[in-house]
Structures are given as structure tokens and as C-alpha cells.
Amino acid sequence: MHDDGLIDTNVWLSAWPTRGSWAATPRALVAKLRRHGVVSAWTGSFDAALHTDIAGVNARLAEACARDGEGVLVPFGTVNPALPDWEEDLRRCHEVHRMAGLRLLPGHHGYQIDDPRLARLVEFAAQRGLPIQIVCSLEDPRSPSPGLIAPSVPAAPFIDVIKKIPRARAMLLNAAARPVAGNAALLRRFADAGNLALEIATLEGVAGIAALLESAPTLPIAFGSCAPFFYFESALLKLQESPLTPQQLDAVRHGCARGLLAAASAR
């Protein structure tokens, strides 16, 4: 059972300006992830949220994952469709850095989730077989640094975007907080889109994974920790808190993530 290991779809390098980190180095991050059975960690860079040289951030991310990732850290570069010539960033992520996917931060980069430029980016990524991750939030909006808190990204409008690009594959990060997880109708719309997944880093409520699957049994749900911003153990213990069938557990641990990559690259 669980021979295929654990895939963490929501991992970060570098430091968030307002927080310390339990992982002082990429190697420390990898050591802990491996100790808990993580075989693959989809990894973005916090620098992508605030730095203006996104291409430089992506290059450093790729280098760090190659140098220190021990085959576990899988870089997901960031493209900002509000910047001039973002298409070149996308090309480099794919052709130069050989990244497996992209991680977008609309809240920090100042565009809406239904912005036509984002739809175009999703289309281009789909043509290259790259799945898209969209970060819906990082800091609790009630936290003390209002200058650094980006507006939460409402996930619902993205459904209409992704449904128009059926060959695209996308995952919403930090989107499963209460307003979404408690909305069964919205969860079913996510599931019905057919090419959209959620992960569990911000999922709350007791037995939250089981509750999500009860609301939307076909909704793809992946494991995500938002480490090292969050404690990795908080996500890991959610797998135990929910009563899941072996099939459900395997899907969350690795099946959903593998399926997303495979489907995207098969386009």
C-alpha cells in the first residue's frame, strides 16, 4: 500500500518576508520531506510574488532544485501575464529550465482570475503540456502586514476560463479554505469542469478531505502542504484525520498529481 509515495503539490523555496522558516536551506526542506515519504514536491519560489525580475527568479529556482533538490524538488516557474513579453518567460520555463508546470500568483501580480491575458497564458501552457497552478491566497487576510497581503483570488470565475480550454490542466493552491470547502455547489462545479484540481494545504474543518469528497466525489484532490510556510505535519495528519478508502487515499497521496501531469503532457 502507498508504494507510489507521497507527492506534495504545494512547496516553496526562498523566504516569505514576514515569516521565519523551519527549512533554512533547500537541503533541510528536502530532508524533512523525504523523511515523511515525499517522493516529489512541486516547488515554486516565494520570490516570484514580490520580485520584479521573474525570469531571474525562475532561473534561480531551477538551479536550486537541480543543485539541492535530490530529485524531490520539481520546479514550477512563475509567469506574470501582466508583464511585457511574458511569452518568453513561459518558453524559458519549458524549454530552458525543463519545468514540469507553472505557478501563477494573480493576487500578488495584480490581475483578475478571469483576465483574458490569463486565459491566453493557460492556452499557451496547454499547448506545451504544462499544468498550471494558481495561488489563491498565502497570508490570512486578518494578519498584521496589510502592505504585503494580496487580495484573495476568488476561484469560481476560473471555472469558466478552464472549461473553454479543455486540454488545459490546472490546480488551485490554497483555495480549499472554508468559503470554498463549505460550498458544495461550487465544489461540484469544480469537479464538473473535468480539468481542475484542488489541494489540501488550507483545507480546514474536521475530517475535511472526507467532507470535500462527500460534497463532490469526483473532485480531484491532491496532497499539498504549503511548506515551509506552514508546518508540513499539519497537512500530513489530515490524511489520517479523514476516513478514506484506500483508493481515495492513494488518489490524494499521489494519484491526482500524477494524473494531472500525465494528462497535461498528453495534450
Partner 1 sequence: MNRRLLLKRAASVATTLPFFSCAASAAEPAPDTAATAWGGGELRRVGIWDAHCHVGTPGTSPAKRMAALVAIADRVGIERLCICMSPPWFHEATPEQFRASNDDVLEILRHWSARAFGFVYLNPTYLRESLDELERCVADGPMIGIKLWVGCRCNRSELDPIVRRAAELAAPILQHTWIKQRGRGNLPNESTPMELAELSARHPGVPLICGHTGGGDWAAGIRAIRARPEISADLAGGDPVYGEVEMAVRELGARRVLYGSDASGRSFASQIGRVLGADISDADKRLILRENLRNLLLPALRRRGIAP
For partner 1, the binding residues (CB under 8 A) are 1-3, 5-6, 19-22, 31-32, 34-39, 139-140, 142-144, 146, 178, 202-208, 210-211, 214, 228-243, 249
Report d(CA 200, CA 236) in Å as an integer: 10
> How many Cα neighbours within 13 Å face the side chain of 121?
34
Closest distance between partner 1 and the C-beta of residue 172, in Å?
Answer: 17
Closest distance between partner 1 and the C-beta of residue 68, in Å?
Answer: 13
Residues, the chain, total?
A: 267
**Based on CB atoms, which residue is closest to partner 1, 93 or 136?**
136
Contact present, 47 and 84 (Cβ < 8 Å) = no
**Based on CB atoms, which residue is closest to partner 1, 84 or 144?**
144
**Based on CB atoms, which residue is closest to partner 1, 39 or 263?**
39
Beta 196-199 vs 170-173: how paired, if at all?
parallel
Q: 240: how many CB neighbours lie within 10 A of its CB?
A: 9
Residues 6+ apart with CB under 8 A from 27: 68, 70
**Based on CB atoms, which residue is closest to partner 1, 186 or 239?**
239
Closest distance between partner 1 and the C-beta of residue 91, in Å?
Answer: 35
Closest distance between partner 1 and the C-beta of residue 16, in Å?
Answer: 9
**Based on CB atoms, which residue is closest to partner 1, 170 or 249?**
249
Rg of the chain on CA atoms, in Å = 17
Q: 78: how many CB neighbours lie within 10 A of its CB?
A: 26
Closest distance between partner 1 and the C-beta of residue 232, in Å?
Answer: 6
Tell me the CA distances in angstroms from 8 to 99, 108, 125, 245, 252, one per residue in order.
Answer: 16, 23, 21, 20, 10
**Based on CB atoms, which residue is closest to partner 1, 88 or 140?**
140
Closest distance between partner 1 and the C-beta of residue 2, in Å?
Answer: 5
Q: Locate 174 and state its grid cell.
A: 490554497
**Based on CB atoms, which residue is closest to partner 1, 30 or 113?**
30
Contact present, 54 and 48 (Cβ < 8 Å) = yes
Closest distance between partner 1 and the C-beta of residue 241, in Å?
Answer: 4
Which DSSP letter does residue 227 get? B
Beta-bridge partners for 104: 134
